[in-house]
Structure 1
Amino acid sequence: MLVCANFARAKIDESSFDAARVIQRDVAITGRGAARTYAAVRLREDLNISIIVIEPKNRLGGHVDTYAVLETNTTLEYGVQSYMQYGPTVGFFERFGVEIGPFTLRRLATINVDVEMGITLDYTPPAANDATEALNKWLQFVEKYDNLVEPDFWNFPSRDKIPMEFLIPFKKIVREQKIESAVPRIVTISGIGVGDLQILSTSQAVQAFGLAVTKGVLEGTFIQPKVSNSLLYQRAYELLKNDVRLGSTIQETERGSTGVRMTLIKAKRVLWIPYPSQDNLKAFEQDDKELQMFERWNTSVQYLPRKVEPSNHLAVRDHPYYLTLGTTGPSGLGLFRVMLGANYSVTYEEAKSVVTSSVQKLVEAGILNYTGHCEVDIKALSAHHGVLWPRESAALKQGFVQKLYSLQGHRNTWWTGRSWCEEYSSNVWTFTDTVLERLLKSLA
């Protein structure tokens, strides 16, 4: 093992630690998410690289969240719902003996209501055939740029060679391609465009809803584990647990030319998984190059802005937040899966307040078969927040992608996760393989 020494700004006094408690590894993997577990398995089991996983939660799984319905011996997924048959996905499930099957979407009668008033809207969503036809046109469009964005942006063109279509507003492409009927499905699945689709660039839309996911939607090839999404991570933990530190966070780091040193951990490289917010990185001793990049980041009831009436599909995101409620079963328990997305920061308490007041508006409007004040009981809650790439096309022209990817390997740190590629687990795993290939070469 490499002993990391001769740091220009030594802050960690190694002599203050019992030598028996100092962990030395080739790679320290920090953070949450699908990429972290996948990378740990690949590095340790396939590539013979020693690892240590630093996990803030008391479990592996990142955005996979499973709620056990105690009354019925069933489980409900309120995080990741399904997976694409893309890259190493199917093989990764098979590796852990997790049986998979087709993803089945619960069929619900949708009620469209005003996001502010809670009253019903006279909005007609696109017909299924129209949506499919529009998605096929979108497929032809994204197919042209697949090599630029999937599964990674290593080969993204320089500023003077970026396709002009990437730099214009998504709304303009929608109108030019006549694919308005695809918009509700695109934004619902990807979660993009909250607040106003007008400022969303086409490059962001392609990144969020590229070739793989479009094909998966059209061909109906999404999959899901037959037991629960958490089973994969439970079995992965059993394999990795000697090299996993649950409930742990980084308090202090040193990164130098010869390696990385964290409190009690010495590693040759760091593989960073969480989204790179200033809060997440506060113990990570950023240099000027990193600071310059990361400072910028920043029944079914569907709540919609009134502007969608009667069928203005491009207005479905013209509100600072979106909210959907969908019954999950089992029958008689009154359980709903709630999705709240916003273009501003929301605390857990604020999210609960939005959900509670929105449900009460449905009661007052007579949409729910209930009288009086409705008590909302939050059974489980999980935040799936992150950072978005700049939405302005000017950022691409200024070389944002190249500057971002130039951080790969900088100060012995490698980066993966949904902040660096398309955010679906299947894409993240595929992208992670490209990062591990480069990380491995740096260790040689």
Structure 2
Amino acid sequence: MKYFSFAVLLGIQNGFTTSASLANEKIYEAAQAKLGDDVLLSSTVTAASRSDSGHRILVSSPEGKQLIQADKLIIAVPPLLQNLEPFDLGDRETEIFAQFDSSFYHTTILRLSGVPNNVQIFNRGVDTPYNIPVLPGAYVFYPSQIPNLFTGFFGGGTVELSEDEVREIIIDNALQLRNAGYDVSDPEVLAYGNHSPFQLIVSSQAIANGFYRDLYSLQGLRKTWYTGAAWHAHDSAALWRFTERLLNERVIVG
């Protein structure tokens, strides 16, 4: 319900708010300009020592290894064990984060002739309960402002697919539009992005056992705080608000 919220419904109905330039990266460029040399790009945390008295974070960057010392730490990556392995997790953290599973999500730009530019194509299962599509597969093809170019969103399944496998299934899904009477020929994937892991989940039994109570109890433990979709929702505006409140009410004053 948080993922498919009232705000999302209003966005679908009235249009989503975006920048005048339609460039979503502008907010990150502004943040980078403000932070200046304190931003490390193309860098990876390789080891960390975390304690209530402070943190020591070893980072591998294009300029070589760098040691960061900090009083507090905010982590925004998807909290899967393989992502958090360098962060010196304790037993309690490991036990909680190990329960997460995730789905997979890919975005594409597709050249798709034979489909009108004012038509959105939603994947629906013909012979499945509630017409849920067979996944992994395309969720939807959205028309763009450029004729014959569509944005395609793809996901589902429990096994991560290669880029070639995703492209093949996307093209096969597009060709099935012929069954709906569209004169589709030679679909082509022009651009591809992999946003996996996506939408972290746990079992219903874990939720009943208090998983999210235990998860939120980690906020502030060992002077470490967390933000990101796993802690709130896959909603950019909601996450900005969540992070602002986390900083102002918990991190800065703590």
Q: Name the structure 2 match of 1:252.
A: 47
Is the aligned partner of 1:319 residue 2:134?
yes
Deviation string for 1:15-58 (max 9, x for gaps)? xxxxxxxxxxxxxxxxxxxxxxxxxxxxxxxxxxxxxxxxxxxx
Whole-Å separation in 1 of the counterparts to 2:207 and 2:124: 31
Contact 2:136 2:154 in 1 (8 A): yes
Residues 281 and 387 of structure 1: is their aligned pair in 2 closer, same or farther, counting only changes over 3 Å?
A: farther
Q: Name the structure 1 match of 2:19.
A: 225
Tell me which amino acid in the other structure corresponds to 2:77: P
Normalized per residue, which structure has more strand? 2
Contact 1:271 1:416 in 2 (8 A): yes
Give the TM-score normalised by structure 2: 0.78
Q: 2:246 aligns with which of 413, 416, 435?
A: 435
Q: Name the structure 2 match of 1:210.
A: 5
Whole-Å separation in 2 of the counterparts to 1:369 and 1:259: 60
- SS of the counterpart of 1:357? helix
* 1:45-60 alignment, distance < 5 Å: none
Q: Name the structure 2 match of 1:261.
A: 56
Identity %: 25
Residues 210 and 366 of structure 1: is their aligned pair in 2 closer, same or farther, counting only changes over 3 Å?
A: closer
Deviation string for 1:75-106 (max 9, x for gaps)? xxxxxxxxxxxxxxxxxxxxxxxxxxxxxxxx
Contact 1:277 1:387 in 2 (8 A): no
Q: Name the structure 2 match of 1:383.
A: 195
403-412 vs 293-302, which moves further: 293-302
Residues 301 and 216 of structure 1: is their aligned pair in 2 closer, same or farther, counting only changes over 3 Å?
A: closer
Deviation string for 1:297-346 (max 9, x for gaps)? 104332221136xxxxx724353334122331323xx3220100213233
Whole-Å separation in 1 of the counterparts to 2:91 and 2:163: 33
Contact 1:259 1:268 in 2 (8 A): yes
Whole-Å separation in 2 of the counterparts to 1:257 and 1:402: 22
Deviation string for 1:407-439 (max 9, x for gaps)? 101122100011101220111111112321211
Q: 2:172 aligns with which of 328, 348, 357?
A: 357
Tell me which amino acid in the other structure corresponds to 1:305: G
Is the aligned partner of 1:340 residue 2:151?
no
Whole-Å separation in 1 of the counterparts to 2:85 and 2:32: 27
Residues 209 and 375 of structure 1: is their aligned pair in 2 closer, same or farther, counting only changes over 3 Å?
A: closer
Is the aligned partner of 1:305 residue 2:125?
yes
Following superposition, the deviation at residue 217 of structure 1 comes to: 5.1
Tell me which amino acid in the other structure corresponds to 2:218: L
Deviation string for 1:232-287 (max 9, x for gaps)? 22233222232111101101111122111111111111100011112211212221
Contact 2:136 2:156 in 1 (8 A): yes
Give the TM-score normalised by structure 1: 0.46
Residues 268 and 395 of structure 1: is their aligned pair in 2 closer, same or farther, counting only changes over 3 Å?
A: same
Contact 1:253 1:284 in 2 (8 A): yes
Contact 1:304 1:322 in 2 (8 A): no
Gaps of 5+ in 1: 1-205, 309-313
Q: Name the structure 2 match of 1:279.
A: 82
Residues 330 and 375 of structure 1: is their aligned pair in 2 closer, same or farther, counting only changes over 3 Å?
A: closer
Whole-Å separation in 1 of the counterparts to 2:236 and 2:230: 12
* 1:87-236 alignment, distance < 5 Å: 206-214=1-9, 220=14, 222-227=16-21, 228-236=23-31
Based on CA coordinates, which of the two structures has the bigger radius of gyration? 1
Q: Name the structure 2 match of 1:107.
A: none
- SS of the counterpart of 2:251? helix
Is the aligned partner of 1:395 residue 2:215?
no
Contact 1:293 1:404 in 2 (8 A): yes
Is the aligned partner of 1:291 residue 2:83?
no
Contact 1:321 1:341 in 2 (8 A): yes
Following superposition, the deviation at residue 296 of structure 1 comes to: 1.3
Following superposition, the deviation at residue 356 of structure 1 comes to: 2.5
Following superposition, the deviation at residue 349 of structure 1 comes to: 2.8
Whole-Å separation in 2 of the counterparts to 1:288 and 1:415: 17
Residues 375 and 244 of structure 1: is their aligned pair in 2 closer, same or farther, counting only changes over 3 Å?
A: same
Contact 2:125 2:134 in 1 (8 A): yes
Tell me which amino acid in the other structure corresponds to 1:413: T
User: RCO greater where, 1 or 2, for CA within 8 Å and sep 6 or more?
Assistant: 1
